[in-house]
Structure 1
């Protein structure tokens, strides 16, 4: 009985720790927002969005009238200010919605001593910074089930406020919804969910023709399994505990299972013409930000980049 009580106490402590780390998000958000803005500012100069002159509803610029153009295109009010004729150009509506899903479930709170950030912190930093870059480039950004698409320059603040006021269970994968065919979806998660759930999510999001990118954010310890001796592993989503008497004997099987899981995800993303890559939290957040942004901006006319990668950063 004493042993059983000890086991339950250890289990409860582990669960409370995982839950407490998740709840500490409110306290850490200001720091994450500042870090995201710093990273975005370091890369934003020289990066251009997809705005250009064309058929749209928003004013873009005035330009000189060219001989042979229809006279009705002349903006007579602007032209009356000097001796030249001017045409009022509208903005080409290339801006479309980019849905960003940063996984905020309990498993994302994990961080080993070799990590720069927890998986949760890294996912949020990159999500915020990516949103800042996209809005600066003329795109609209939303969070599925949490925040409607916006092109506001205060997009990071809007995202942070939406998360702070979210009292729903923090799911690993984005909720089911049907994005437009022009939408882009970015999912930042550890993707330790069962492959059936991941496949179902992908099928639903891709059903309209939308494209997307899955980034598996992992801790260095989840890559190498650097454990030995007697170790207790806690599943933070449901609180179950597994004890390994000789953890080092699990390494080979663990690495093989992770490789198989990734191969299954990659096979599905390849089939749908989506992108799957991995990111380890011992590496730079800016590296992942550049990878994501470059992948979206390769074809500025809205076409899909054909770049494929198994590992990004």
Structure 2
């Protein structure tokens, strides 16, 4: 049996961009906002055609008047500027919102040398990019339990400011108690390394009123493969505990079996409430997960 020695908890575990990744957020947010906008532009094709004419309140476009339509629909001011009649069409606005929650707890600050970014950075970029793309597609988006849903074109900046100001969110590894309306869409982005029973309780509570949803499990590549051997010290970023392992290689098979069982448990939780599960590794582009989520949301809402 491999020799193991537990160390006392420390305030901040060492390592590359670990706990600092979730704490020192404000200084990195401008860069993450720019990255989110870049990813959002790549998602545009996945959300095309979301706007359509209907009985909404927001102006969408003018179109030529068609014989047989009620004269009351004519926009006389616009028509006076041309030699033809125009109708003011309004944007179709669904009565349902899209809510996003982004885990910023300590474990999300981890990044190995194999990753393109820390988990928290990838989660933020993905969440902000999706919000921007959804709003561009005519949806209303909000941060679950933190902001109201809005269709503002400044959604990325508004969400970024709210997240930076929300210091309490840095210690929460599960979404807040919230009750989205029936048929609202919910996207939860986390590493979901919390015990499955706690994840199940949170998801079931959110889904209880009939909202549809998607779990996005963000993972560093070494969290999936555990490529360690020989002497190693493992750090728990949430508790600050360290574990001195005499032969890390001997733990590999057991670890991989356990993480696979955990992923299977997440899948069961999602399936149990009719939600989806997406696994996203941080050595892959954010656009991959973004396009999948955009497609899933569009399919759930019967558009796209």
Q: TM-score, normalised by structure 1?
A: 0.86
Provide the aligned C-alpha RMSD in A. Answer: 2.5
SS of the aligned residue for 2:186 comes to strand
Counterpart of 1:70 in structure 2 is 70
Q: CA deviation at 1:304?
A: 8.7
Q: CA deviation at 1:83?
A: 5.2
Counterpart of 2:286 in structure 1 is 285
Whole-Å separation in 2 of the counterparts to 1:230 and 1:95: 57
Q: CA deviation at 1:96?
A: 3.5
1:30 and 2:30 correspond: yes
Q: CA deviation at 1:303?
A: 3.1
Counterpart of 1:309 in structure 2 is none
Would the alpha carbon gap of residues 162 and 91 (structure 1) be closer, same or farther in structure 2, given more than 3 Å must change?
same
**Residue ranges of structure 2 left out of the alignment (5+ in a row):** 1-5
Larger CA deviation: 12-21 vs 55-64? 12-21
Bigger relative contact order, structure 1 or 2, given CA contacts below 8 A and separation 6+? 2
SS of the aligned residue for 2:126 comes to helix
**Residue ranges of structure 1 left out of the alignment (5+ in a row):** 1-5, 306-313
Mapped contact 1:102–1:123 kept (Cα < 8 A): yes
Q: C-alpha offsets along residues 215-247 of structure 1, whole Å, 9 cap, x if unaligned?
A: 110001100001112222221112222222211
Larger CA deviation: 75-84 vs 194-203? 75-84
Q: C-alpha offsets along residues 105-162 of structure 1, whole Å, 9 cap, x if unaligned?
A: 0000111111110111111111111111111111111111222212111111111111
Counterpart of 2:244 in structure 1 is 243
Whole-Å separation in 1 of the counterparts to 2:137 and 2:257: 41
Q: CA deviation at 1:71?
A: 3.7
Whole-Å separation in 1 of the counterparts to 2:132 and 2:63: 29
- 1:1-313 counterparts in 2 under 5 A? 7-8=7-8, 11-12=10-11, 14=13, 18-44=18-44, 47-81=47-81, 84-94=84-94, 96-170=96-170, 171-298=172-299, 302-303=301-302
SS of the aligned residue for 2:217 comes to strand
Q: CA deviation at 1:94?
A: 2.9
Mapped contact 1:231–1:247 kept (Cα < 8 A): yes
Would the alpha carbon gap of residues 198 and 13 (structure 1) be closer, same or farther in structure 2, given more than 3 Å must change?
closer
Whole-Å separation in 2 of the counterparts to 1:291 and 1:283: 13
Q: How many residues align?
A: 297
Q: TM-score, normalised by structure 2?
A: 0.88
Q: C-alpha offsets along residues 42-76 of structure 1, whole Å, 9 cap, x if unaligned?
A: 44368425211111222233333333333433344
